[in-house]
Structure 1
């Protein structure tokens, strides 16, 4: 059997001109701005786990807060969360590891255990770092969802 050679199909030069005409400069669209009531307020968030010695890695937020390794902190329990703020007489330090150590008494009072995930909220304007246990985050989210549903209590 003898093969037949088929010539390639190449568009005519008139087609090349059509493609060139379809490419036109595109004006950049303006970026949308969120409504004023939905603008970010400057808080920064991170999630960490509590180690067996009570350490919580907070270094992702320290630069945002402007806290050096040598900062001394005081801790207060508010509800089930821990509020940390700089205090020259504070008993807590970050140290080289840039971690906060939550003493066992604070952890027990807030219902935190080894391995628990906590939400870290840095407020650079207020100069504080808040450590929220998962159950506190659950309650905040449930209250917010209830407000979205018109305060309907389906749970």
Structure 2
């Protein structure tokens, strides 16, 4: 990389007269930043696209759950969200490539199509995975986004 080095800009310090005026506040230390509350949830999150065969893949999420090829799973739909857990008599399972295949009837129930991105929320302590389709994310985030974008929540 070539070119001239830009010198830093330093503004001269000015004193206010008698503690009045706009510079009087600069004598106070700046406010301390708010320290965020430590995270207490054990959830492991990931995003994945549904492929043309209904498969989703996220190694980090599935590793946190300890799910490997052949892990028997049960899948149900609650409020538009897929709830997936281990079940010894489960008829679904992880593929040999480490993907989770979502059956067609489940995808249709949740209006999931090829290429749709889903939020994966793994709860390892419960051996449970929640798969949130875009329509559910829209509902969950509507109020938050309205507030952040300057509107009123619906």
Same fold (TM over 0.5): yes
Compute the RMSD of aligned alpha carbons.
2.4
Partner in structure 2 of residue 81 of structure 1: 81
Q: Is it true that 1:135 corresponds to 2:104 in the alignment?
A: no
Report the Cα distance in structure 2 between the residues aligned to 1:69 and 1:81, rounded to whole angstroms: 23
Q: Is it true that 1:70 corresponds to 2:70 in the alignment?
A: yes
> Where does structure 1 lack aligned partners over 5 or more consecutive residues?
1-31
> Where does structure 2 lack aligned partners over 5 or more consecutive residues?
1-33
Shift in alpha-carbon separation, 1:89–1:58, aligned structure 2, 3 A: farther
Map 1:1-150; keep pairs closer than 5 Å: 34-35=36-37, 38-145=38-145
Deviation, structure 1 residue 148: 8.0
What's the TM-score once normalised by structure 2's chain length? 0.68
Instruction: Say how many residue pairs are matched.
Output: 120
Deviation, structure 1 residue 152: 3.5
**Which structure has the larger Rg?**
1
Partner in structure 2 of residue 27 of structure 1: none
Higher relative helix content: 1
Partner in structure 1 of residue 21 of structure 2: none
What's the TM-score once normalised by structure 1's chain length? 0.68
Report the Cα distance in structure 2 between the residues aligned to 1:145 and 1:42, rounded to whole angstroms: 25
Q: Alignment partner of 1:125: what SS?
A: helix
Deviation, structure 1 residue 75: 0.1
